Structures are given as C-alpha cells and as structure tokens.
Amino acid sequence: MNAWLKERSELGVCAVLLVLGVLVLTDALRIPTDFAQRGPVGPKAVPIVVGTLLLIVAVLLARDVLRGGRGEAEGGEDIDLTAPADLRTVLLLCGAFLANAALIGVVGFPISGAVLFWGAAYALGSRSLVRDAWIAAGLSIATFLVFNNLLGVPLPGGPLMEVF
C-alpha cells in the first residue's frame, strides 16, 4: 500500500485542492448578500466559481493520476537540481513577511511595507543597505498612496496617517 501511494503522490495535491474547494464553497455560501448586492451578480459569485473550479480540478487530476498519469520532473535548464534549497534565503524572506504582518497594525503600512521590501531585497542578496532602505521607503509610500488614495482600499497609515 505504501509503494502504491508513493507512486501516486499527486493524490496529495488532489486532497489539498478538494479541501480548499470545500472550504471556499462553505465560506462563500455564508457570505451575507444583503449589504453588498448591487445587481444580479453578488459577492458570492466569484468565490462559488473558484470553489467549484477547485473541486473540478481536484477530481480531474485524481482521475488522471489513477489512470497512470504522472507529472514530469522539473527540467533544470538553468538551475542545478542537485543543489539543496537555500534555507537561509527562505527564512529571511519569511522573517520579513512576518515582521510586516506584526508591524502593520502598530506602525502602519508605509513603515511595515518598507521593512518588508528592504528585508526582501536583503534576503535576495542586495547589500547596498542605505540605497535599499530609500528604495523600500519610496516603494512602500507609493504602494500606500496608490491603494489608499487611487483605488480606495484603506490601508493602515499608522503615525504617518496625517502626512498622507
């Protein structure tokens, strides 16, 4: 049984897609429509379509795997597939993302976003710390202004709220 499952490991992906589809559909059906219904298409439409498509893909992939289909191994044209993953980079990126998540409510998006952008640049190998900090600050402020002012998506401004 263990060897059979090992040869059909893609069934794990099918299970994840199936669970995700059920979760999306369950949440979509609980969305109240009275507050946001403007016309024939309400807030439930897109989540229901996405959840249904997830279930369809899960079933089709499971059928393909059970009929003997297998995913191709990645072809490493420009990478060394025998090299181990760069765990340091992954952990630094996760740290920058978690710092952003922890700081956004306290200091607002412009500052937490700058921490995220600067941390990502550092994790990916840039060592021009001062230049990266200025670029991260500019990118974060620009992102805040676009989302908050142009798109109407409110982001927490933190102490810089009065400035923008």
Select from 81, 51, 68 the least CA-distant residue to 11. 68
Structural domain harbouring 101: 87-160
pLDDT digit string (tens) for 4-19?
Answer: 566 667 888 999 999 9
Name the residue type at position 107: V
Same domain, 60 and 99: no
Indicate the pTM of the whole model.
Answer: 0.58
Question: Domain count of the chain?
Answer: 2
Let me know if residue 82 belongs to a domain: no
Question: 25 near 45, Cβ under 8 Å?
Answer: no
Q: What is the dihedral of CA 146, 148, 159, 162, to 10 degrees?
A: 100
> pLDDT at position 42, please?
73
Q: Are residues 40 and 93 in the same domain?
A: no
Over the stretch 104-131, which tens digit does the pLDDT of each residue have? 989 999 999 999 999 999 999 998 999 9
Question: Which of these, 104, 113, 105, lies nearest to 139 by C-alpha position?
Answer: 113
pLDDT of residue 154 exceeding 90, the answer is no
In this predicted model, which residue has the larger pLDDT, 114 or 157? 114
Between these two residues, 156 and 50, which has the higher pLDDT value? 50
Same domain for 92 and 156: yes
**Residue scoring higher pLDDT (34 or 145):** 145
pLDDT of residue 86: 85
42: Cβ–Cβ under 8 A, 6 or more apart, which residues?
33, 36
Report the pLDDT value the prediction gives residue 38, as an integer from 0 to 100: 64
**What is the pLDDT at residue 5?**
60
Give the pLDDT confidence of 29-74 residue by residue, as tens digits: 888 776 656 666 777 888 999 999 999 999 999 999 888 877 776 6
Asked whether residue 73 is domain-assigned, the answer is no
